A and B are shown apart, each in its own frame.
Chain A
Amino acid sequence: MFNIILFALTLAALIYSFKKDRQKTRQALKIAYNSFRNILPNMLGIIGMIGLMLALVPRETIEGLFGNNSPLGILIISAVGSVTLIPAFIAFPLAASLLQAGASIMAVSSFITTLLMVGVITAPMEIQYFGKKFTIMRNVFSLAAALGMAVIMGVVLK
């Protein structure tokens, strides 16, 4: 159902765009193709790792670490989320597989919110553009907010 709506929506948008401006539409398709090509190696790698994780890491291990909202587990998964640089596109399937493997909503939410809001690896780049104070403040507040959001989501969503 989701896929059908998505395809219909995209097709309608594409036809409308093409009628309005062929050049722009061609440009859009080029961007689409390039984004896809850029993400493909990462996507295949992450999908492979999801498979390995589901097969090799026992459910009890993931449940024990990330299944019971223990502060240590949340801390570990938030650190991983803050440091890693995974495109959001493939972070969601990874998060879904963690849920499937026994992690709690709160743990998975922390992973997603920190991954999206905190960028440790990109910080040097951010400093170059906006300065140290800006970067540190933005990331520290974002980390605090990410953790707060994850706790709320863990409580609200069951």
Chain B
Amino acid sequence: MKRHLKKYFLFILIILIDLLLRWKMPAAGSTAISSSVDYLVEMLLFIPPIFVLVGLLDVWVPRKIVEKHVGPDSGAKGVVISILVATAAAGPLYAGFPVADALLKKGCRLANAVIFLGTWATIKIPMLMMEIKFMGLSFALTRLILTVPVVIFIGYLVEKIVEPGKGHSEVKSA
């Protein structure tokens, strides 16, 4: 109960502020409440299917594929697979750390691990749907088109600096 209360603290606080506003400044109060309700309805209408997609992608896209194909000599194929698998993953960036770490331990190239993390953070499929919905198709597409080369470039750049003279990784991990 206490844990729940803590999780919903912000929400409860906002409801109290909304009520106070409603009472002291009725105009602002009803604007606040009605905009929040509008956003809530809009999100509840399509968030459930997005989460179902997240779950389906997560169980059906095997991360083992990555382990097989992103080794030291993997080249372009490794990059493509890193990107594809990361776009299907569920969870925030920090949930990607242990996955990338496991990849490195299995001999994956450092650049591919960085690319994997970068993709994980920026272009997951369900996330793109959310982006299209709220920011519009041209915004989402422009960001996507810019992100892919940038993420790949950062991957190779980080590899060059962290492991100068080495094509593959033996990063020690804590």
A residues sitting closer than 8 Å to B (CB atoms) are 2-3, 6-7, 9-11, 13-14, 17, 24-25, 27-33, 35-36, 41-45, 47-52, 54-56, 85, 87-89, 92-93, 95-97, 99, 105, 108-109, 112-113, 116-117, 119, 122, 125-126, 128-131, 133-134, 137-138, 141-142, 145, 148-149, 152-153, 156-157
Contacts and interface: CB of A to CB of B under 8 A. Distances in A.
B65 interface: no
B74 to A, nearest CB: 19
B154 A142 contact: yes
A126 B97 CA distance: 7
Contacts of A45: 8, 10-11, 14
Mostly, the B contact residues are: helix
A3 B49 CA distance: 9
Q: Which 6 A-B pairs have the closest CB atoms?
A: A51-B36, A48-B14, A45-B10, A28-B55, A55-B32, A32-B55
A44 B11 contact: yes
B35 A50 contact: yes
A36 B122 contact: no
B31 A54 contact: yes
A52 B33 CA distance: 8
B45 interface: yes
A92 B59 contact: no
Given A50-B35, A56-B32, A138 B58 contact: no
Quick one: which of B17, B49, B147, B173 has the most chain A CB within 10 A?
Answer: B49
Nearest to B15: A48
B70 interface: no
Interface in B1-59: 7-8, 10-11, 14-15, 17-18, 21, 28-29, 31-37, 39-40, 42-43, 45-56, 58-59
B11 A41 contact: yes
Nearest to B173: A129
Interface in B124-161: 124, 126-127, 129-135, 138-139, 142-143, 146-147, 150, 153-154, 157-158, 161
B117 interface: yes
13 contacts: A6-B46, A24-B60, A31-B59, A32-B51, A41-B11, A45-B14, A50-B35, A50-B39, A51-B18, A52-B17, A93-B42, A138-B114, A153-B139
